[in-house]
Structure 1
Amino acid sequence: MFDEVFAAVGVTVMKTPPRTPRANCYAERWIRTVRAEYIDHYNGHRPHQSRGQRPPDQDRHVVVAMEGRIERHEILGGAINEYRRAA
């Protein structure tokens, strides 16, 4: 079904042979990068209710500054945005 969607917009679908990790190295690298960015966002920035709206990797005793300009940082090519105080 996905092949039909790609074919409709003129994209040629190439299937990788089984048990050939080097044949799909670009996709594997991209997937690894996406996973790493998501894990960093989930554990280092995203608030969790069970931790009082703090991320899992943040120390409870860290005081976050409430003054200053807020900057937006795109994660996963803009699919997720993080907001931080400017230094």
Structure 2
Amino acid sequence: MSLELATRVDEVFKTQGIRVVLTAPQAPRMNAIMERWVGSVRREILDRILVINAAHLRTVLAEYEAHFSEHRPHRALDQASPLRALPEPIDADITVTRRDRLGGLLHKYSQVA
């Protein structure tokens, strides 16, 4: 992206009251982490759902954020969620239920007592 275009984009954000935060050149991973999260949002949600308006987008993103942080397994965390550790394994027969979120795009699985 050219510097002139980037400046114009920044001005559009500023007119809407959005604070522009630049990534530090000394911290290249900062941008990579956000790019990965945005990519996950696009692949898992935005490419599969029709967003009607800004309020609907905020609702969808809030639901995805909760799913991402509380329920979605992460390989780097040994399939745990960032805000919830995995329970200890048990050797009993378990019944698992699935609750659909966002019209079936996301699924929340839980054990039945």
Could you say whether these structures have the same fold, taking a TM-score greater than 0.5 normalized by the shorter chain as the test? yes
Residue identity (%): 31
Which stretch shows the higher mean deviation, 65-74 or 46-55? 65-74
Partner residue of 1:43 out of 55, 69, 77: 69
Q: CA deviation at 1:43?
A: 0.8
Q: Which has the higher contact order (CA 8 A, sep 6+)?
A: 1
Secondary structure (helix, strand or coil) at the match of 1:53 reads coil
Superposed structure 1 runs of 4+ greater than 4 Å apart: 64-67
Name the count of aligned residue pairs.
62
Which ranges in structure 1 are unaligned for 5 or more consecutive residues? 1-18, 20-25
* Correspondence 1:86 to 2:109: no
Kindly indicate which of the two structures has a greater share of residues assigned to helix. Answer: 2
Q: CA deviation at 1:53?
A: 0.9
Q: CA deviation at 1:78?
A: 0.9
Q: CA deviation at 1:46?
A: 0.9
Cross-structure match for 1:63:
88
Matched to 1:63, the amino acid is E
Go from structure 1 to structure 2 and tell me whether the alpha carbon gap of 1:76 and 1:86 turns closer, same or farther (over 3 Å shift): same
Q: Deviations over 1:17-62 (max 9, x none)?
A: xx7xxxxxx72211111001101111111111111110011146x4
TM-score calculated relative to the size of structure 2:
0.46
TM-score calculated relative to the size of structure 1:
0.57
Matched to 1:30, the amino acid is H
Which ranges in structure 2 are unaligned for 5 or more consecutive residues? 1-15, 17-51
